[in-house]
A and B are shown apart, each in its own frame.
Chain A
Amino acid sequence: MTRNGPYLFDEFFASGKEESISPFLTPKSRKYAKNIALKSALLSAFLLALAFGLSFYSSIYSNFTLVFVYVLVGTPALIGTIDDIRNLEINIDVLMTLAAFLSVLIGSQLEGALLLVLFALSGAMESAVSSRAKGALHHLHEITPHFATVVDDKGVTTQKSVREIPVGTHVLVKAGEIVPLDGEVISGRSSLNLVHLTGESHPIPKEVGDTVQAGSRNLDGSITLRITKSSSESTLSRIVKLIHDAQEAKPKLERLFDRFSKVYSMSIILLSALFALSFPFLFHIPFLGVEGSLYRALAFLIAASPCALIIATPTAYLSALSASAKKGVLLKGGVQLDSLAGCDTIVFDKTGTLTTGELTLKGVTPPPGSKISSDQALALAAALEKRVTHPISAAIQKAAADLPAQSVQNFRAHAGLGLSGTSNGTPLYIGNRPFIEERTKLPEIHPKEGELIAYFLIGDELFLLSFEDELRDDIGETLNQLKSNYQVIMLTGDHYDNAAHIAKTLGIDNFQADLRPDKKLDIIAELAKNHQIAMCGDGINDAPALARAHVGIAMGKVGSDTAIDASDIVILNDDLNLIAWLSWKAKQTMRIVRENLILALAVITLATTPALLGFIPLWLAVILHEGGTVVVGLNSLRLLKK
């Protein structure tokens, strides 16, 4: 945020009031707020190492240094624990904090500090990874215009907040602007696309009488709309509400470790209390003192919270997240790996997900007996189109990239219709059917499903340029691979015939077409009753379904920011092959987490507790304890392999 214009307070609120973008702090001092938990944990780790070194020379200086460790990382842990206890939630956090602070009572403050530091480090790293997940709807607010240009009876324009624009108001939408509210065109003509809403880049011509949706992008001309829906009822607002509802309805994701930790922590705390209270009666030992039952119970509690247990899960998740990031897959947290490992159904959106979402020139059809070659026509079309930004222009430019450049004179853009110019005196017209029909008689043409035709008139010779949204490379192979582990479903807002054509090509038996965002959400919610669902999509219209699915996977390149924010996993390079890889990685992570937990429990069972009871010497217990921690760490590092 800078002071060059009004603040983007939305960003601040969407971030959960992050201090690092607080509007009250000076820009220079905001850097102090960045990753403050991680900085504090690292400083504590340094101080702990110092305390350990000092412990060989002077216990006083060592303890003095440890005080800072306990304050820096112990205070936040204590606050969290008090909150957990207030919410009647006894989890591993409570156990670790209790163990760390009670260890001071039996003179094991270094071990307690180590627990706190490891705990703080893993928490800080996890929050650094998941901080990207904050502000789920921020980008949607960004693309939603906050104000619109209102035209009054005298034609005077003023800007008004979209919240204050009633139905019936006339609003001007200029080329390049996003339509602020749903409405009907009352003057002007233009092409609009729904790339922000659906990922569909096909330009759709709009003229007087046509309806337009909020969130569409006006590509070329200026249009005036009569507003038909207020801000709270417009298409974008409805999608925002759907996303909110979907996020509320999403089942609470729980890590394997979370389920284990609740039972484990409660058991250890209860057992410790039981030992402290019952030992004086059972074994005739005192309650207080070094040999007392309280001391032994505390020792048991601390022994049951080994470092190996703390690092068992975070190191595995962090390794898996790091390996995924190297592959170009961004996960918003470790819990998504647990969910993905359990998925049995994967649902795909069509446009922009199974297809590229970009128009591709499929062919140039010259008139019979033309002296102008298709390549020459294409080069001339490219010369005309290079002056505008439009999905069709981009497709023509791409197709003509290797052709010699042509020059065009007298260029003119006809909003919502097409372009014109001359080349060596020959008139050139490129555009939609109504535009060319004014100049020549057009043959009857029936485009295939999903095909878009542009008409190009060179003098009196008519060329037809056909465009299509192409399937992604290797998508068939990817789906075949996924089908062996998942039920594959396609949901699309596109027409039935088009969807059926794509589904048949890709061998998808289960598909539904003509779906609006709310319908997609309903289908996902229904499927989620009996299946664990992963949903893969890219458009704003997919965002509610992505938010509701057990795991939402968004396409990073073509995906709208809102879809990316509403999802749990982002495939940065849009390579769907990575879904199969990620599924394997998720299962591998689960396996390693289980192994780590078993190893950590083995440390407790075979080393620490027997040592406390005097069955094995202390030096052997220390070796086994530290050895267990190292083995757990190394085991997690296996997940770094791509």
Chain B
Amino acid sequence: MNQPAHFEGQSAKEHLKKARKKGAIATSEIHGTEMSGALNAFCECARTLIALLLVTYLLLTPTLLPLLLFSLAFTIFSFGRSSLIAWSRLERLHRLIEDERHEITHHREQEREELTEMYQAKGLSGKLLTDVIDVLMADDNRLLMVMLEEELGLPLESFEHPLLQGLGAALGCALSAALGLIALHFGGLLPLVITAFLISGITAYLTASRLRIEKIRHITWHISLLFVTGAAAYFLGRALL
């Protein structure tokens, strides 16, 4: 049984693929998805601010106070931006869950077909498959949960509140600014550069550990990125300013 209004002219299998992609896009956002949003925001913002402080200092050699004020403004911006991004994502997820609920209520036959497709792919067949589908279809709440997790690939109870993500971003900025400016105040450029590399390296390590990706490669790339950013500012600044 196929219903163009529901499957948009596709087979249940094609529809399933599209739905999973939709779910994956919905969960992804600028800070990534596989680690805690707050921690990710913390690492991202700490790295970004220390790079910006280094570049600003290399280009303009300002005194401490403008750099402090710049850090404060960037911290406020990061808090707001990170929170708003997370809020948008949450709103999007809520809309998706509402759409799926509508499907379950109004297109039960098609949902049954989708479930059959999913569980056939998992190796079930015959009476066992029918029984599993019947059990899942018996309770709408359970069915919605299964469809969200299995069809759309949306993980439940896994996102932090947007404010918490914003706080993570703000904390990352604040810590980065504090360490960078203390280093600059007491030691000058070299300690600032060392602090910047340390912050970049440590936050890259944290991200790599949580994402369970190759640590050395990840850290090295982030340090290299900071190096090229700083070097570009230094040499082009010297040449053009």
Chain A interface residues (CB < 8 Å from chain B): 3, 6-10, 12-13, 17, 19, 22-27, 29-30, 32-33, 36, 146-147, 158-161, 163-164
Contact = CB atoms under 8 A, between A and B. Distances in A.
A24 B158 contact: yes
Given A17-B98, A30-B161, A146 B141 contact: yes
B204 to A, nearest CB: 25
B13 interface: no
Contact of A25 (B143, B144, B148, B160): B160
B135 interface: yes
A6 B137 contact: no
Contact of B161 (A3, A10, A33): A33
A161 B138 contact: yes
Contact of A163 (B94, B108, B144, B158): B108
A584 to B, nearest CB: 43
B99 to A, nearest CB: 12
Contacts of A25: 90, 157, 159-161
A370 to B, nearest CB: 54
Most chain-B CB neighbours within 10 Å: which of A24, A26, A27? A24
Interface in B159-213: 159-161, 163-164
A30 B164 CA distance: 10
Contacts of A30: 161
A161 B94 CA distance: 24
B226 interface: no
Contacts of A29: 159-161, 164
B101 A24 contact: no
A629 B225 CA distance: 59
A545 B21 CA distance: 47
**Which 5 residue pairs are nearest across A and B when measured between Cβ atoms?**
A6-B142, A32-B161, A29-B161, A147-B138, A6-B141
Contacts of B148: 23
Contacts of B134: 158-160
Contact of B97 (A6, A9, A19, A164): A9
A342 B111 CA distance: 50
B142 A24 contact: no
A24 B138 contact: no
28 contacts: A3-B156, A6-B144, A6-B145, A7-B141, A12-B97, A13-B101, A17-B98, A22-B93, A23-B97, A23-B156, A24-B93, A24-B156, A24-B158, A25-B161, A26-B160, A27-B157, A30-B161, A32-B161, A32-B163, A33-B161, A36-B163, A146-B140, A158-B131, A158-B134, A159-B139, A160-B134, A160-B138, A164-B137
Most chain-A CB neighbours within 10 Å: which of B94, B108, B155, B161? B161
Given A7-B156, A29-B160, A158-B134, A22 B94 contact: yes
Contact of A24 (B135, B141, B143, B159): B159
Contacts of B138: 146-147, 158-161, 164
Contact of A8 (B137, B141, B143, B161): B141
A17 B142 CA distance: 18
A22 B158 contact: no
B154 interface: yes
A163 B106 CA distance: 11
A329 to B, nearest CB: 34
A32 B163 CA distance: 7
B170 to A, nearest CB: 13
Contacts of A160: 134, 137-138
A36 B137 CA distance: 37
B227 to A, nearest CB: 36
A74 to B, nearest CB: 14
A164 B133 CA distance: 13
Contacts of B155: 24
B231 to A, nearest CB: 36
Interface in B67-121: 90, 93-94, 97-98, 101, 108
A24 B139 contact: no
Contact of A10 (B131, B141, B163): B141
A26 B159 contact: yes
B145 A164 contact: no
A19 B161 contact: yes
B135 A159 contact: yes
